[in-house]
Chains A and B, each alone.
Chain A
């Protein structure tokens, strides 16, 4: 664990990515103390005299939105929404994927076959379209959005875990364990699960990037987190028609989404390099 942490910090790009993740996490936790305004406050000088949003300046650091609300404050509170959905939805997706993959891979036979055919089917679904349909028809709230994303996102993990479990189940040490009289539960918990931990950690990180992007996309289409509760996607949704006159309202949140997703992707990728034993020792 210590070795991995020090390896992670040694790469400049990963170090930077960890820093970004740290800042976003801090912003989410400390939003009420950091935000200069309430995310819903509409200060009297929040709009220009013509009623247009204000560009970034000394009072409103990142400018104001079309209703005169402070963009920085909304972004800070938006970090809560995006990060909560990112972590929860992806956590649920990884959990479902692990359970499905382990059960199908370890039991094999008819059950395994049926389960894996079902994942074939899920792979043939246009995932984003499915998420949009579900989110739109379920009258979205924060948790519904998280659930919808989890439901379309577990398949990849399930397939990877399935392949790994099946390979593990055929190894000699599992056979040895079984001939010593170990039951299925003991073998699964003590011998299979530890080998799958790296996969869980890697996908627990990489998947957050995908989840944050899907949440932003759903919110951008207006079927994700509903205003006035700020999320990075719905800040852009609310101001997209003003992107020519007030580009900061679209591109600042856009840059924040990109930076967050990029950081989770970089850290996840670095973790995969470090945790995958087959990669160890190569350059």
Chain B
């Protein structure tokens, strides 16, 4: 177990290092000159050269990269070109909002997915079962921004149940979390459904029933825990999906998270912030996968033995 853990950790660090290299090279070779943008539209060639020197962009590429990586090791993500502040500080200030949003999104997804999935498995081919199937397909086929605008239109503009945009109170998080969570809930439900059907057909469930246990006790205590394993893996993978989705959701709802920070930085070619947010997102994805790998053996002794 310890060996496996160490192995996976090393792998994760290697992957993050690779992400850093690829992002760095991509941003370096893209045909956008941050120095010219920072210097402003009326800047002379001399002024642009000065800015380039200040930002350290005139150094040889390997040296620039070395500086960046050695900074990364000390959790130093560099300085923003436009905001004249440490990227790490900017990201840290925005991260809590994004984490709240993602946590609520996952909560919506898992709560809905579990409930619908269990009901669908118990009442196969019933109304809920058909609905789960439909919901799953509509969920993966829906453009997130349209769902966001639709929820805003119905629940904020027409019914005035929730605020249009902003951040701070629990009411603000409802619509963004629903936007993130609703679309994935269908697939969760499908996975729970098929896992539950597999489990419910097994002998120990028949034994539990034969002992005279009540239906709900069999389902909740005996069947459900064994059907949860794929869900844990899904949550880990989902963190990655959400990291892309937050850019859109935060843009529509004016949610002050790292998605919005990235979006502003992209429009200003603020390379250090783009790098920083990409690295933090990749870290989240890697941690999510790691979590899925580590929690699975805790829940399932069969995996632990192997």
Contact = CB atoms under 8 A, between A and B. Distances in A.
Interface of A: 117-118, 120-121, 123-130, 132-134, 136-139, 209, 213, 216-217, 220-221, 223, 233, 236, 240, 243-244, 247, 250-251, 254, 257-258, 261-262, 265-266, 269
B245 A128 contact: yes
Interface band, chain B: 35 or more
Contacts, number: 127
Contacts of A223: 266
Contacts of B141: 209, 213, 258, 261-262, 265
B15 A124 contact: yes
Given A129-B277, A137-B32, A251-B150, A220 B244 contact: no
A258 B146 contact: yes
Contact of A126 (B15, B149, B282): B282
Given A129-B244, A223-B266, A240-B149, 9 more contacts: A118-B18, A124-B285, A126-B240, A128-B248, A216-B145, A236-B145, A251-B146, A257-B146, A261-B140
B15 A254 contact: no
A126 B278 contact: yes
Given A121-B18, A136-B266, A221 B251 contact: yes
Contact of B145 (A121, A133, A220): A220
A223 B266 CA distance: 10
Contact of A262 (B138, B245, B269, B278): B138
A139 B267 CA distance: 11
A217 B140 contact: no
Given A124-B15, A137-B31, A244-B157, A132 B247 contact: yes
Interface in B125-152: 137-138, 140-146, 149-150, 152
5 contacts: A129-B244, A132-B263, A244-B157, A251-B146, A258-B143
B149 A129 contact: no
B247 A262 contact: no
B143 A124 contact: no
B243 interface: yes
B262 interface: yes
A218 to B, nearest CB: 10
Contact of A217 (B143, B240, B269, B281): B143
In this complex, the member of B22, B141, B262, B274 whose beta carbon has the largest number of chain A beta carbons within 10 angstroms is B141
Contact of A250 (B18, B149, B274, B286): B149
Nearest to B265: A133
Nearest to A247: B153
Given A124-B15, A243-B152, A262-B137, A129 B144 contact: no
Nearest to A130: B278
A65 to B, nearest CB: 15
Contact of A124 (B16, B30, B153): B16
Interface in B257-306: 262-263, 266-267, 269, 274, 277-278, 281-282, 285-286, 289
A169 B301 CA distance: 33
B19 interface: yes
B73 interface: no
A158 to B, nearest CB: 16
Nearest to A206: B140
A129 B153 CA distance: 26
A146 B34 CA distance: 25
A126 B243 contact: yes
A124 B286 contact: yes
Given A121-B22, A126-B244, A138-B30, A254 B282 contact: no
Contacts of A221: 247-248, 251, 263
B278 A220 contact: no
Interface in B221-246: 240, 243-245
B243 A258 contact: no
A139 B31 contact: yes
